[in-house]
Structure 1
Amino acid sequence: MTLTSKKHGIFQKMLEEKRKYFPETKLQLPRQKPAYTTKTLTLEDMDAAIEEQAGLSCKNIMSFPNEWAITSIGEVCDVKGGKRLPKGENFSNEITPYPYLRVTDFKSGKIDYSGIQYISESVFKGISNYTISSDDIYISIAGTIGLVGIIQEKLNGSSLTENAAKLTNFTGVFKQYLLFALKSSYAKNIFIENTVSSGQPKLALFRIRDIEFPLPPLAEQKEIATLLDNLLAQVDTLKTRLDAIPNILKRFRQSVLAAAVSGKLTEDDSVEFIKKEKTITTLQEVSSVIGGLTKNARRSDLPIKKPYLRVANVYENEFRLDDVSEIGVEEKELQRILLKANDLLIVEGNGSLEHIGRAALWKGEISDCVHQNHLIKVRVDENNQNAKFLLFYLMSPQGKAEIISKATSGAGLYTLSISKVASIQVPVFSLEEQEEIVRRVEELFAFADQIEQRVKVAQQRVNHLTQAILAKAFRGELTAEWREQNPELISGENSAAALLARIQAEQKLKQGLAKPTRRQT
């Protein structure tokens, strides 16, 4: 039987959605030869690119160009810790002008406003020397180590937790360049190596100061930061598009099921199906609805033991059989409670309306298997009813709405009884049309599954791509041609060696002017 125009219409819709959110995505990467232009990196090329670029060890990232120098964080900025709340003080119950930033607020290189705590004016005055601004870089130093970022300007002057530090007063380093360096796997590995764990992991401030990183000329630092801003923004855009696709596919599957059980999927002129006079019936008219076993202490003494399914084993269109228990049964019960291929199992209770009545089709995965009473079994009359069509109906928007209308609520739990399941209304189609509907749904679902698998592979690649790009940047590969085209910006007084000399001279001057203080740890 050939596919109909109606079906092709749904396929076309799927393809349009796929092209919209999952195009042949390309990422712009600088090309080293022959000129400073760009090349494209497709998803299919990512594995090779990541393997080539992801030299993330300390040894590889320190393989930088001869024109670069090496310095430490302590040479280019001050590292200052935050402060805990004074003893006996607590957060304010109201929003005040004094935010207190904690590690839990550090999200994606910024501050997540949703959980910010505030302190009173009197508490703020007691810790007012421990604030942070958007001119600084934050870094988490306790618990979760190495979260780095820059706070939003509107949070300038916020108090900073003792579980974080700030890098401030930068000399000879472009702040955004240093931020990207701290986001690299090289830096994260150094953080881990220098973390002391006596209960809660802790990264001492002096260890942060000692961390070394490559120092290009200042103009090249800015060029690297600009390139990384552009490239990583593309990666974020790609990741956002990929992350959106599972929900698109979920909506697509629901639209397929809605069309299927309403007859629209087989509503065409090329195929003539026998139409039933009756268009609606109930589950009890097309199947047997059967309860399961109630677990009790008496069953542990019964000699016949059988594997049995619980609610934890049944999900929508899926059985999870890693943990299947056994239960004692009586001989006279077996005929009623043994599962057979094409039995539907429906979950009769759940705390969420979304999951009430979730169902799966048994295919005989475990022999001589039974089920508990919280799973209701539906065994169809195979001469008139296709079991998989019934499953698809229960999964469809129409079927779920019918299940919800039958469910009752009590003590925070939605439940279905055998009688309520038996009374669920289902659409009536000839067996031949049901089989054709099932075939078409499965074909469309298989297409969606293929896209979903491609998305998972692409997401894995993209998750590694950021570190691959950072590694390439801090080996000097992103700016190789830029250096060739701008020799005057990396030589003489503009060289990294001259920059490092100025940094070190300024540090000596600071040390000479500063009064001796106890080292902060």
Structure 2
Amino acid sequence: MTTDNLPKKWIKTKLGTLIELKYGKSLAAHSRDGIGFDVFGSNGVVGKHSTALVNTHGLIVGRKGSHGVVNKSIAPFFPIDTTYYVDEFHQQPINFWFYYLTLLPLTRLNRSTAIPGLNRDDAYDLDIMLPSINEQKIIADKLDDLLARVENIKTRLENIPEILKKFRQSVLSAAVSGELTEEWRKENESPFDLWKSGILNDFIQKPSYGSSSKSQSEGEIPVLRMGNLQRGEIDWTDLVYTSDPKEIEKYTLASGDVLFNRTNSPELVGKTSIYRGERNAIYAGYLIRVKVKDSLNSDFLNYHLNSPQAKEYCLSVKSDGVSQSNINAKKLSEYPIAVPPYSEQLEIVNKLESFFHYIDNLEKKSTNAILYINSLSQSILAKAFRGELTAQWREENPDLISGINSAEALLEKITAEKLATGTVKKRAKKSIH
């Protein structure tokens, strides 16, 4: 943050002229005092203590570990020795300093080669731009309002992926139950009783398990594993390989093969993806390959096995180990399924692809919006401490930033108080204008 262009009636000074960072005390030396006030480390509350060093609102700054991270307390706290606590606000609004310290590059002030640490003399030497105390209050109020709005928007955006996930499942459920194509059937005079009910085994060839041989980090073709099955498609990252000709001959996949994850954690067992022949590959032993008969469309099956109905079935038939669940080929083959005429299967697939394309676009937009919102807070802080948020206020209130209300008068008052108490630092004296 540059201090070259000062807003009207702001002054340039050093951080050490305005606040003092005091060391926290050793937690071990006081841990036997019983419960009482919150004890703060650089990442939040870590215990209790019976005596508070700061008895009202206060700020703590990480000194070791997460150095430079600023936390705000509205309760009494006793900071431990991995933190500083900020003292002597001199009636300046604490929110102003919380936001200012959040913006300052404290986390980049690190002299340690092992555990990251903040040297307070380095912090004291930072150049800052100081407004009057009245403008500080206006800035703090504006930031309270604006950043609360940003946080509210961020919370709403972060809820979107879960909403879209539920929507995706709802659409899948409607698809495999026939609800999604109800109007299509009326228009095409294709009654629902044309759907054939049975078990999966009636519509597929004999399912087969994948290779149990050890894969390599390099090789001729990829070996698809459970981690490569993502949201119904093959994820071609984090691959392992094989060059064994016998393995390749036996387990090579064909376009349209459906891969079922037979062993995984209880919530992930049964996830399914379709192989579309993007590149030659075989499949590993924790997967089951399913080849469809002519009456069943492989895309329709892939969607069906990812539906809420399929997840419910998997939960009911899985066998549980210590940390993993298993669904064997026999149980998979017994999955109850209703299959519509092939033309309706294609209509369902087309509708689902359209829906999911729309959902994917929404997810991308929400992800981009979250990235923008995450940067917006810093942008607002930067504008605030360049004086941009209060430019009009300064023009409308010249008496509140001049004379005894000026930043110069505030700095003189703080310096006088420090001199009177003997706490003024030599470096601070040099930086006073």
Q: TM-score, normalised by structure 1?
A: 0.75
SS of residue in 1 equivalent to 2:92: coil
1:172 and 1:499 in contact (8 A); partners too: no
Match of 2:22 among 80, 86, 93: 80
Supply the distance in 2 between the matched residues of 1:86 and 1:334 (Cα, whole angstroms): 62
Supply the distance in 1 between the matched residues of 2:17 and 2:419 (Cα, whole angstroms): 10
Distance 1:169 1:362, change over 3 A: same
Which residue does 1:99 correspond to in 2? 38
1:242 and 1:455 in contact (8 A); partners too: yes
Distance 1:462 1:169, change over 3 A: same
Structure 2's unaligned 5+ residue stretches are 426-433
Aligned: 1:63 with 2:63 = no
Supply the distance in 2 between the matched residues of 1:361 and 1:209 (Cα, whole angstroms): 60
Supply the distance in 2 between the matched residues of 1:478 and 1:132 (Cα, whole angstroms): 31
Q: CA RMSD in A?
A: 2.6
Identity %: 31
1:38-437 equivalences under 5 Å are 58-59=1-2, 61-86=3-28, 96-105=35-44, 116-118=46-48, 128=51, 131-153=53-75, 156=76, 158-171=77-90, 173-184=92-103, 187-188=104-105, 191-268=106-183, 269-273=186-190, 275-276=192-193, 279-288=196-205, 289-295=207-213, 306-327=221-242, 329=244, 331=246, 336-351=250-265, 353-367=266-280, 369-381=281-293, 383-437=294-348
Supply the distance in 1 between the matched residues of 2:32 and 2:309 (Cα, whole angstroms): 49
1:62 and 1:475 in contact (8 A); partners too: no
Distance 1:443 1:409, change over 3 A: same
- 1:268-319 C-alpha deviation (Å, 9 max, x unpaired): 23332254566422222111211122216xx99xxx9653222232233132
In the alignment, residue 148 of structure 1 is paired with which amino acid? Answer: V
Aligned: 1:439 with 2:350 = yes
In the alignment, residue 348 of structure 1 is paired with which amino acid? Answer: R
- 1:7-37 C-alpha deviation (Å, 9 max, x unpaired): xxxxxxxxxxxxxxxxxxxxxxxxxxxxxxx
- 1:162-194 C-alpha deviation (Å, 9 max, x unpaired): 11111122126322211111111xx12xx2443
Structure 1 residue 323: Cα displacement: 3.4
- 1:424-465 C-alpha deviation (Å, 9 max, x unpaired): 122221111111111111111111111111111111111111
Supply the distance in 2 between the matched residues of 1:214 and 1:513 (Cα, whole angstroms): 19
Supply the distance in 2 between the matched residues of 1:264 and 1:85 (Cα, whole angstroms): 63
In the alignment, residue 42 of structure 2 is paired with which amino acid? Answer: V
Supply the distance in 2 between the matched residues of 1:283 and 1:443 (Cα, whole angstroms): 26
Structure 1 residue 217: Cα displacement: 1.2
Supply the distance in 2 between the matched residues of 1:411 and 1:388 (Cα, whole angstroms): 33
Q: TM-score, normalised by structure 2?
A: 0.89
2:43 and 2:66 in contact (8 A); partners too: no
SS of residue in 1 equivalent to 2:60: strand
Supply the distance in 2 between the matched residues of 1:445 and 1:350 (Cα, whole angstroms): 25
Supply the distance in 2 between the matched residues of 1:323 and 1:245 (Cα, whole angstroms): 27
Tell me how many residue pairs correspond in the alignment.
420
Which residue does 2:403 correspond to in 1? 492
Supply the distance in 2 between the matched residues of 1:410 and 1:275 (Cα, whole angstroms): 41
Supply the distance in 2 between the matched residues of 1:359 and 1:77 (Cα, whole angstroms): 59
Structure 1's unaligned 5+ residue stretches are 1-57, 106-110, 515-521
In the alignment, residue 211 of structure 2 is paired with which amino acid? Answer: L
In the alignment, residue 117 of structure 1 is paired with which amino acid? Answer: G
SS of residue in 2 equivalent to 1:281: strand
SS of residue in 2 equivalent to 1:264: coil
Supply the distance in 1 between the matched residues of 2:39 and 2:409 (Cα, whole angstroms): 40
Which residue does 1:41 correspond to in 2? none
Supply the distance in 2 between the matched residues of 1:183 and 1:346 (Cα, whole angstroms): 49
- 1:58-84 C-alpha deviation (Å, 9 max, x unpaired): 32x552213111333332233211122
